[in-house]
Amino acid sequence: MARVFVTRELPFPALERLEAEHEVDTWPGDLAPPPDELRARTSEADGLLSMVADRVDEALLDAAPNLRAIANYAVGTDNIDLEAAAARGLPVGNTPDVLTDATADLAFALILALARGIVSGAETVRAGEWRTWEPAGALGTDLAGATLAIVGRGRIGEAVARRAAGFGMEVVHSSRSSGLPLDQLLGQADVISLHTPLTPDTRHLIDASALARMKPTALLVNTARGGIVDQDALREALMEGRIGGAALDVTEPEPLPGDHPLLDAPNLLVVPHLGSATRRTRARMAEMAVENLLAALDGRPMPHPVT
Cis, bond preceding 253 (omega within 30 deg of 0): yes
**Which residues, in sequence order, are CB contacts of 249 under 8 Å at separation 6+?**
106, 107, 110, 222, 223, 271, 272, 273, 274, 275
Determine which helix (DSSP H) or strand (DSSP E) holds 71, and give its type and residue range.
strand 69-72
Residue 229's alpha-carbon distances to 221, 253, 293, in angstroms, are 10, 12, 33
| Residue 60 φ then ψ, to 5° | -65, -45
What's the rounded Cα separation, in Å, for the pair 246 and 254?
17
25 Cβ contact list (under 8 Å, min separation 6):
3, 4, 5, 6, 41, 44, 45
- Is 112:140 a contact under the CB 8 Å cutoff? no
What does 41-69 look like in DSSP terms, one character per residue? Answer: HHTT-SEEEE-TTS-B-HHHHHT-TT--E
- Active-site residue list: 225, 254, 273
Q: Where are the strands (E) in 126-282, listed by range?
A: 147-151, 170-174, 191-194, 219-222, 245-248, 268-270
Instruction: Judge whether 112 and 143 are in contact, CB under 8 Å.
Output: yes
**Helix, coil or strand: residue 137:** coil
